[in-house]
Amino acid sequence: MLSLEVFPPKPGYPIDSVFETLDGLADLSPGFFSVTYSPRGDNGCRTEEIACRIRRDYGQESLAHLTCLCHGRNEIEAILDRLSVCGVENVLALRGDPPENSHVTGSDFRYAFQLIREVKKKGCFCVGAAAYPEGHVESPSIHQDIDRVKQKVDAGADFLITQMFFDNRVFFDFLHRARWRGIEVPVIPGIMPVLNFRQIKRIIYLCGVSIPARLLRILEKHGGNSGDLQKAGMEYAVQQITGLLSQGVPGVHLYTMNRVDETRRIVAACGIESMESSA
């Protein structure tokens, strides 16, 4: 199964731009479109609107990201009710990042597993959770991090989507640890194509993702030429995806960064056929 992730425009930018992205990707018929949530909550209402319009206007499954920091229980309840009314049945339950240079206030939740329990009480949502193949940047150890993933699954998470990684061995090592820990839900690998040098450099820094030697050589060779980097980055993503599919993963989650042409080329090169949603 192929799933595609899009994100709401930044505050101050028209929301229509994301629907231009969806117009360009809808015929790929992914298992679901995932709609990200602003870490500061700025785009929370936009996430709801986009997820609902994906169901209503495009007739496709949507997965709405929902973070629990800075939200009280009543706010979460209201968001879930609105999503349910417009037919959104899938939620990615996340802790979210605390506001910069401030303390979290007004939240009844501190961790994602608490939000997952709350969402599952509704009884009408399929709930996904995040997993970090190389460990969350705040986690003191890889062993403690896998315990946190198990906590999410025990709370009711139906499937996991991973953070990006650039070496498939990292994913399969994580999957081995997860299965050994008793985590049996589907684990969907998340792939982010390297299309912009500055963007990927920042993301790598924030997420603590390692760079394999082969990708490092690509960055060093093409980092100064955006066209060549995009071509090499797409080829690298295709190799990652085909390698994962050949090993029987249940699907691939592609972080599109709202790039239509590049996403379509990657999907076509991988030969991924449209499949019905299993979210």
Query: Which helix or strand (DSSP H or E) is residue 65 part of?
Result: strand 62-67
**Farthest-apart Cα atoms in the chain, separation:** 52
Q: Helix crossing, 44-58 with 16-25: angle to 10°? A: 40
- The alpha helices in 5-64, defined as continuous H runs, are 16-25, 44-58
Report in angstroms the alpha-carbon separations of 271 from 183, 199, 268. 30, 27, 5
Q: DSSP string covering 141-174, please?
A: -HHHHHHHHHHHHHHT--EEEEEE-S-HHHHHHH
Q: Give the tokens for residue 120.
A: 């599952």
Q: Is 134 a catalytic residue?
A: no
Q: Which of 5, 61, 118, 134 is catalytic?
A: 5
Report in angstroms the alpha-carbon separations of 236 from 109, 241, 275. 39, 9, 24
Catalytic residues: 5
